[in-house]
Structure 1
Amino acid sequence: MEARPEQPGVARRDLLIGLAAVAAWPTAAAARTSRTAEAVRRKAQALARRPYAPPSAPLPPELAALDYDGYRALRFRPEMAIWRDLGLPFQLQMFPRGGLHTRPVELYEVVDGEIRPIAYRPDYFIAGTADEAALSADAGFAGFRIHAPLNDPAWYDEFAVFLGASYFRAVPRGGVYGLSARAIEVGSGEPGEEFPAFRAFFVERPSPGQASLTVHALLDGPSLAGAYQFTIAPGEPTVFEVAATLFPRTPLGRAGLAPLTSMFLYGPGGAHAFDDFRPQVHDSDGLLLARAEGEREWRALSNPPSVQVSRIDEPRARGFGLTQRQRSFEAYHDLEAHYHRRPSAWVEPLGDWGPGAVQLVELPARGEGEDNIVASWRPASPPPAGRPFAYAYRLHWSAAIPAARPLAPVAGWRAGRGDAQPWRRFVVDFGPVEGADFAELAADVSVSAGAVRHVTLQPNPNRRGARVAFEYNGQDAPAGELRARLVRTGEAVSEAWVRRWPT
């Protein structure tokens, strides 16, 4: 190899020292992150050794009484964003306590391994409709949001937010907020559901040019305490790498890992039930599952008349997510909510989570302000009390879920009356089938209860895919599932469309 000439005016020894320092920087930064993570784990473990005591901090009555619009009127002053004057790739803006967000959270900045408090200041905020005097009290923070040049290199867009219990949300490039994630769910859809909450955040100051931001969080709730580390990279997709250690106070038999929470009010053909001009209203329209041997299953969501819980057992967690498949404006005709731009979210487990089940909870909802969908991983062997439990996953926020192998996606579905009562007709459209001659395809339709007839398969040039149609009689079926997919010589070439019956 040809020798590289030395830079003018730089001694070779100094150059080598400088290069060594650059090479060592990631290792040094990783060591500081590790120390912070360990400090948060120690705090969580100490909390778990004591009985749960929710934080108590009085809130000025005027702030506590704020409604949704009143709380939204409390605005952070962008010119006071954390790191704004440092020219760094990320900025932080905080939320004050008020309205539904009464729990205080502590915020800290981590600089070269040193933890420094971010103190509450009333002049951070514009009071909006509230009295300035209410903000002048030590109201404290309820959460924070993260800004970065997501869509325009010259503009810092809000792309992630931590606000409310253990909820957090994010958007990819070109998207808007939709579904949420949580650190953990305990008893979703059951009496006595718990909502563990973040008590403190420790945000590492980024370096110039850094592509991701690291956030450590301390979680506490009646059944457990926990330490979380989020490594957050904005883009398409926006990706969270999550490492968690739980310290259970009690056996976590009702706990779900990596939960996603969303809203489904109605889908195809459901507008008449709400007398709404919009054809569909939802943040997510399906639960996508990675199954054994590379197969995938897309389960259509519903707004049921009563609580529905579905469990899909797996020998190990392969991946799951809530999708927003309908991505055209014409599917919603909503100029304000922009449902066609809301992201899907995909949970990619890191390491072996052991056997368990993806659990889907569907709750009745009367309006689009209600989150009524929860999907999570329920371990077959729940974490026992008194023993730390660690796991990790990667969470993708995107307009499209990453594909494991070429499988035609479920592109849409509809239902209506069949040729005669009580038969119902279902039509399922699949997207492009890669490398397949239509003559080689077959429709595979099955039901766990009831009867099926008139199964047909047609090419659908509008989607460069195929349409499967069938009629179903579930009159004598108290509960069951409908399933349709495309196969070639018996092997799946599409996702499996699944619909629970009755809805």
Structure 2
Amino acid sequence: MRLLRRLALAMFVLGSSTPVLATTPAALFDQVTEQARDLANEEWQAPNTDMPSELSDMDYDQYRQIRYRDDQALWGDSGLFQVELFHPGFLYHQPVAINVLENEAVREIAFDSQRFRYDDDAAPLEKLDLSDLGYAGFRLHFPLNETDYRDEFAVFLGASYFRLVGRNQGYGLSARGLAIDTAAPEGEEFPYFREFWLVRPAENANHMTVFALLDSESVTGAYRFDITPGKRTEIVTEARLFARQDVGKLGIAPLTSMFMHGEMQRRDTDDYRPRVHDSSGLLMATSRGEWTWRVLSNPQRLQLSSLQDTSPKGFGLVQRPNDFSAYMDMEARYDQRPSQWVEPLDEWGEGRVELVEIPTNNEFNDNITAYWVPATPLKAGESRTFRYRTFTFGEPINEPLARVVRSRQGWGGFPGQSDPPARSLRHFVVDFRGGELDGLDPSQPVAMTLTSTSGEVLEQKVQQLPDGETWRASFELQPEDGKPADMRLTLDLHGQHLTETWNAIWNPNES
């Protein structure tokens, strides 16, 4: 079910607005760009979602019984890459157009039911005339782990969603082409990829290119994805956007994930697993060299927060820790879920990384989204281009500072205390490891720099833990009149920051 739980999965249009005549990838991208520009000057038309009820009414189990035939994979006869296609149905009500560029010519891949096997409860579909259908999306395969097997490493399916995995990773969080008005009172707009062009790679190439045409009520766009699978599967993206109308909030390079409960959760969870999440924090590298670790939460009400900057070095949703004992789940294997980083390749100017946390009571719905919001709004008739690299990772990225390895909180008193404090008093501990902390003698005067937007901070203490590698910052917080406290903490030595900035919001009204 994890592959099928995205937020706007059924929004597709079949066919392009103008013919594509390109013979080279560069020419093709320019022509897709012209399509996007022309489309922005036309009135938006809602996608046609009509399809046979046998497809639209099927459930998840029936949909899974439609299986792509291995011998029908595109490019399966040679080269390192191959492509498999998704059948429409279930949540995918209207297909997208899929084309390939090979031998300097563009060719549309028409729907062919012979590419699929209809097993068990899906067998009656074989009697339907499905000749007018297109495909719902596609997945890419490459010998990622073993030389004689092409692993699935990327999926483009649903609205503008796509997911990536690197070597020895399992699917978790998603990326999107664009986010518009996420968490806005008037409701979110979901742009969608209506057409794709897949460029056939050379025989021994280790990367490939995909182009996409994006459409929505407010924005159209031409996208180029240069994809390289590996230990860190990477996509270099160029997005050329055209505004049909004023955009309230433009979200660039969105990442979407799930957080149900983790080490900072105070609410009781009747669950044997200590953590259930695809990502545990938002990490941001600012233009000033600061690294901020924002702890994720599953709030009782929608929570919106921002990290301001000018041309940041990068941001991402990160899964910490990465060992099985932290999750204890043999089915979901959250320890194998990838982190994903976004690195701008040009100057993005002033803006903010915005984080949206939505309440959830299950682990099947994404409730975390992060994206870049430019300070200058996109107005009708304007165009803008964004270039960035996004990649998956498991091991920590090349961060120069010590990292947060644990965040805990609990009541500031203890059982049996003769004069216990109010239950609202919270005791926080934050553990750091790595960077300049490595090999640091416990006698060194490591100090804590801590700020909070509300409440009173008490009992600040820094100490090295018995393992000789980890340093702990602990403090108490007495909340103020039910106000949320936005806390920021670093460890310093002689005025030098040794650690990334720990950032968390504590809302006493949700205790």
- TM-score normalised by L of structure 1: 0.90
- Summarize the Cα distance change of 1:39–1:489 in structure 2 as closer, same or farther, 3 Å threshold: same
CA contact (8 A) 1:449 1:477 kept: no
Query: Alpha-carbon deviation of 1:316?
Result: 2.1
Write the deviation string for residues 167-223 of structure 1: whole angstroms up to 9, x where unpaired.
Answer: 000001010000000000011112321111100100000001111110000000111
Q: Which residue of 2 aligns with 1:118?
A: 109
Query: Alpha-carbon deviation of 1:269?
Result: 5.8
Query: Counterparts of 1:329-348 in structure 2 under 5 Å?
Result: 329-348=324-343
Query: Alpha-carbon deviation of 1:274?
Result: 3.5
The equivalent position to 1:49 in structure 2, one of 13, 19, 41, is 41
Q: Which residue of 2 aligns with 1:458?
A: 463
Q: Which residue of 2 aligns with 1:488?
A: 493
The equivalent position to 1:222 in structure 2, one of 217, 223, 227, is 217
Write the deviation string for residues 381-413 of structure 1: whole angstroms up to 9, x where unpaired.
Answer: 012211221110000111135225x20111111
Q: Which residue of 2 aligns with 1:175?
A: 169
Q: Match for 2:110: what amino acid?
A: A
Q: Which deviates more, 471-480 or 301-310?
A: 471-480
Give the whole-Å Cα distance in 2 for the aligned partners of 1:68 and 1:272: 31
1:100 aligns with 2:88: no
Q: Which deviates more, 351-360 or 72-81?
A: 72-81
Q: Match for 2:81: what amino acid?
A: F
Q: Which residue of 1 aligns with 2:301?
A: 306
Q: Which residue of 1 aligns with 2:426?
A: 424
Q: Match for 2:139: what amino acid?
A: R
- Summarize the Cα distance change of 1:460–1:74 in structure 2 as closer, same or farther, 3 Å threshold: farther
CA contact (8 A) 2:36 2:221 kept: yes
Q: Match for 2:440: what amino acid?
A: D
Query: Alpha-carbon deviation of 1:120?
Result: 1.0
**Matched position secondary structure for 2:62:** helix
Q: Which deviates more, 407-416 or 267-276?
A: 267-276
- Summarize the Cα distance change of 1:110–1:194 in structure 2 as closer, same or farther, 3 Å threshold: same
Query: Alpha-carbon deviation of 1:136?
Result: 4.7
Give the whole-Å Cα distance in 1 for the aligned partners of 2:190 and 2:85: 22
Q: Which residue of 1 aligns with 2:150?
A: 156
CA contact (8 A) 1:295 1:492 kept: no
- Summarize the Cα distance change of 1:490–1:477 in structure 2 as closer, same or farther, 3 Å threshold: farther
Write the deviation string for residues 114-152 of structure 1: whole angstroms up to 9, x where unpaired.
Answer: 111111110111223212336651332110000000011
Q: Which residue of 1 aligns with 2:481?
A: 476
CA contact (8 A) 1:432 1:463 kept: no
- Over the matched positions of the two proteins, sequence identity in percent amounts to 41
The equivalent position to 1:78 in structure 2, one of 39, 48, 70, is 70
Give the whole-Å Cα distance in 2 for the aligned partners of 1:144 and 1:278: 33
Q: Which residue of 1 aligns with 2:317?
A: 322
Compare the two structures and name the one with the higher helix fraction: 1
1:34 aligns with 2:39: no
CA contact (8 A) 2:456 2:480 kept: no
CA contact (8 A) 1:127 1:135 kept: no
Query: Alpha-carbon deviation of 1:468?
Result: 1.0
Q: Match for 1:494: what amino acid?
A: T
Number of aligned pairs? 472
Give the whole-Å Cα distance in 1 for the aligned partners of 2:460 and 2:435: 19
1:289 aligns with 2:284: yes
List alignment gaps of at least 5 residues for structure 2.
1-21, 414-420
1:64 aligns with 2:25: no
- TM-score normalised by L of structure 2: 0.89
CA contact (8 A) 2:92 2:136 kept: yes
Q: Which deviates more, 299-308 or 31-40?
A: 31-40
**Matched position secondary structure for 1:500:** strand
Query: Alpha-carbon deviation of 1:103?
Result: 2.6
Query: Alpha-carbon deviation of 1:110?
Result: 0.4
The equivalent position to 2:403 in structure 1, one of 381, 404, 409, is 409
Q: Which deviates more, 459-468 or 215-224?
A: 459-468
Query: Counterparts of 1:271-290 in structure 2 under 5 Å?
Result: 273-290=268-285
1:443 aligns with 2:448: yes
Give the whole-Å Cα distance in 2 for the aligned partners of 1:227 and 1:361: 26
Q: Which residue of 2 aligns with 1:500?
A: 505
List alignment gaps of at least 5 residues for structure 1.
1-29
- Summarize the Cα distance change of 1:463–1:305 in structure 2 as closer, same or farther, 3 Å threshold: farther
- Summarize the Cα distance change of 1:134–1:459 in structure 2 as closer, same or farther, 3 Å threshold: farther
Give the whole-Å Cα distance in 1 for the aligned partners of 2:390 and 2:48: 32
Q: Match for 2:412: what amino acid?
A: G
Q: Considering only aligned residues, what root-mean-square deviation do their CA atoms show, in Å?
A: 1.8
Q: Match for 1:455: what amino acid?
A: Q
Query: Alpha-carbon deviation of 1:477?
Result: 5.0
Q: Match for 2:118: what amino acid?
A: A
Give the whole-Å Cα distance in 2 for the aligned partners of 1:70 and 1:298: 42
Q: Match for 2:58: what amino acid?
A: L
Query: Alpha-carbon deviation of 1:315?
Result: 2.0
Give the whole-Å Cα distance in 2 for the aligned partners of 1:462 and 1:62: 60
1:166 aligns with 2:151: no
CA contact (8 A) 2:194 2:213 kept: yes
Give the whole-Å Cα distance in 2 for the aligned partners of 1:423 and 1:481: 16
Write the deviation string for residues 53-104 of structure 1: whole angstroms up to 9, x where unpaired.
Answer: 133253121111122232222221112110011x211100010111111131
**Matched position secondary structure for 1:54:** coil
Query: Alpha-carbon deviation of 1:238?
Result: 0.6
**Matched position secondary structure for 2:235:** strand
Q: Match for 1:105: what amino acid?
A: V
Q: Which residue of 2 aligns with 1:357?
A: 352
Q: Match for 1:474: what amino acid?
A: P
- Summarize the Cα distance change of 1:407–1:269 in structure 2 as closer, same or farther, 3 Å threshold: closer
Q: Which residue of 1 aligns with 2:10?
A: none
**Matched position secondary structure for 1:428:** strand
CA contact (8 A) 2:310 2:348 kept: no
Give the whole-Å Cα distance in 2 for the aligned partners of 1:414 and 1:72: 40
Q: Which residue of 1 aligns with 2:14?
A: none
Give the whole-Å Cα distance in 2 for the aligned partners of 1:269 and 1:236: 30
Q: Which deviates more, 393-402 or 93-102?
A: 393-402
The equivalent position to 2:379 in structure 1, one of 377, 380, 384, is 384
Query: Alpha-carbon deviation of 1:352?
Result: 0.6
**Matched position secondary structure for 1:229:** strand
